[in-house]
A and B are shown apart, each in its own frame.
Chain A
Amino acid sequence: MSVEQPIKADSWTVAGRTFSSRLIIGTGKYKSLEENAAALKASGAQIVTVAVRRVNISDPSQPMLTDFIDPKKVTYLPNTAGCFTADEAIRTLRLAREAGGWNLVKLEVLGEARTLYPDMRETLKACQVLVAEGFEPMVYCVDDPIAAKQLEEAGAVAIMPLGAPIGSGLGIQNRVTIRLIVEGAGVPVLVDAGVGTASDAAVAMELGCDGVLMNTAIAEAKDPVLMARAMKAAVEAGRLAYLAGRMQKRRYADPSSPLAGLI
C-alpha cells in the first residue's frame, strides 16, 4: 500500500450482517446498567451478548437492560452461558428467539463449573438441532482446529474458540491452535473468553481473527469505561498489524542504520 492511499474501510460479515466494529462485549458483571452503557459507547461495539433469565415476578418494575442499551441500535446476541446440556441450550435459544425476534445467537454449552470448558459433544449436537430449526449460531468452542471444522460443517455461522478459560483474563494460551483455526475456517473466527487486557485482544487480531468477544476484561477493570476504549484501540491496532503483515522474526540483531559509510 502506498502512503497516499487512504486506509480502506474495514468490516466483517457474519450470517449476512455486516459490522465495522470487530469487538463484541458482554453485559454481565458491571456495577450498574449506566456503567455498562457507558462502556459500550467507549468500546464502539455494535454487538452485545445478553443472557436469558426468568423475569422477577415479585418485582417487575426493576430497571431492564433494554432501557439502557437499545436493541434497535445495538445487536443483541443471546447467549446460552450457564447451560450444561444441549437440551438446555436449545430451550434457552428458542425462548431468546421469541423474546428478540432474530435468529443470530451465541451457542455455548459448558462441560463443568470449575473450568467452564465447553462440552464439544453437547455443543455439536445443539448446533445441529439449532441449524435445522433455522437459527444462525455463533459457537463457543475449544481451541481445536478439528472441532472448529466439525462445527462449521454443522452450520455454525462463526467459530468462537476460547483464548483461556472464561473470566480468567489469562490471555491467549495457544496461538498455534488459534492460527490453525483461522487458516482452516470458511466462516468468521472470533476469540471468545480469556482476554485480560488490551495486548491480549491485539494478539487475537494479529493472528487473523475476525473479532474478539470479551466481558470480564472490561467489566472488572478498575475503570471499565477507559478499558473499553483501550480494547477498541487494541482490536483496531491488531487488525491493522495483521493487514500490514508483520516483519519476519530473526534470531539475532540486524542493524537499522547502514553499515556503509561509517567514519
Chain B
Amino acid sequence: MSLDDTLGIRVNGEHRRVNGGITITEMLNELGLDPHRVAVERNLAVVERSKFTEMMVEDGDDYEIVHFVGGG
C-alpha cells in the first residue's frame, strides 16, 4: 500500500495503480470492461464470476483478464 491509499497491481502484464478498497467488478468497470464478457485469473487462480462483486483487489495482485477472440 502506498501513501496515497492506491494499490499497485499488474493487469495482463502491465503495471497499474488503482484505488484501494475496490472489488473486482469495480476494477473491471474502471478498466472499461464488461464483467459478463471476460474471465479473470488472480494470482494464477481463476476467479468465479459470482465472486467478482465481493472479492477485493489487494496490493500486489497479478491479474490476467481474457475473452474470446477469433481463432482456429
Contacts and interface: CB of A to CB of B under 8 A. Distances in A.
A71 B67 CA distance: 13
Nearest to B31: A57
A99 B32 contact: no
A50 B67 CA distance: 10
B72 A54 contact: no
A180 B39 CA distance: 39
Interface residues of A, number: 37
Interface in B31-72: 31-33, 37-41, 44, 46-49, 64-72
Contacts of B46: 94-95, 97-98
A76 B68 CA distance: 9
Given A60-B32, A99-B38, A26 B68 contact: no
Contacts of A21: none
A36 B69 CA distance: 12
Given A49-B72, A216-B72, A57 B14 contact: yes
A28 B68 contact: no
Contacts of B13: 54
A65 B39 contact: no
A57 B41 CA distance: 15
A78 interface: yes
Contacts of B65: 54-55, 57
Name the residue among B14, B37, B67, B72 with the largest chain A CB count within 10 angstroms.
Answer: B72
A55 B72 contact: no
Given A55-B65, A57-B31, A95-B66, A64 B72 contact: no
Interface of A: 26-30, 33, 36, 49-55, 57, 60-61, 64-66, 71, 76, 78-79, 81, 91, 94-100, 166-167, 215-216
Given A52-B66, A57-B65, A96-B39, 8 more contacts: A36-B70, A50-B69, A50-B71, A55-B33, A61-B32, A65-B69, A91-B44, A98-B40
